[in-house]
Amino acid sequence: MGTPKYPEVGDLFIDASDIKVTDITPEQIQKLTKLRDGFEAAVKNLLGLKPEDADRAGLNEKDKERLAAAFARDQRIGELLPASQKLTELLHETRQTTRHEIATILAENAAQAKRRADRVQNGAEVLGPVAPLMDYQYGPANKAAATKEKAKEPKQEV
């Protein structure tokens, strides 16, 4: 188990507060320059140049500093991403199983209310308070049945 600053895959706490995150649109993403595999070697080469070699090539020292900061940020994001992706996966799967539980409870309660309404004289009084539940649970089936009945009707020509 890692720490929030240095999480391991499966940890439920991730602290990325040291990273200034960016939110951009898909259109903006398409316009960004993409790195190819092997860029790390080029970065390390540039960062490892002796000052005299950088001067001889006309390279700017401030670019080297910006590159070092950007590369460190990229490496830090790389440390966080696996744990973050797993946490997102876990949250999604937990939501799916929770929604399954909700759907099961709704179905069981709708069926119980329907059975009770079928057995008593005042069935409308039983179903009235749970009308939104019944509409949710049986609405698609009722709509499908109505569509099926409508399809059976002979077509009238205009």
Tell me the domain boundaries of the chain: 26-147
d(CA 50, CA 41): 16
Q: What is the pTM of this model?
A: 0.70
134 alpha carbon, distance to own chain's centre:
30
d(CA 46, CA 63): 10
Residues 6 or more apart whose CB falls under 8 angstroms from that of 70 comprise none
* pLDDT for res 158: 62
Give every residue of the chain whose pLDDT is below 50, as ranges.
none
Residues 6 or more apart whose CB falls under 8 angstroms from that of 61 comprise 51, 54
* pLDDT for res 123: 92
* pLDDT for res 152: 82
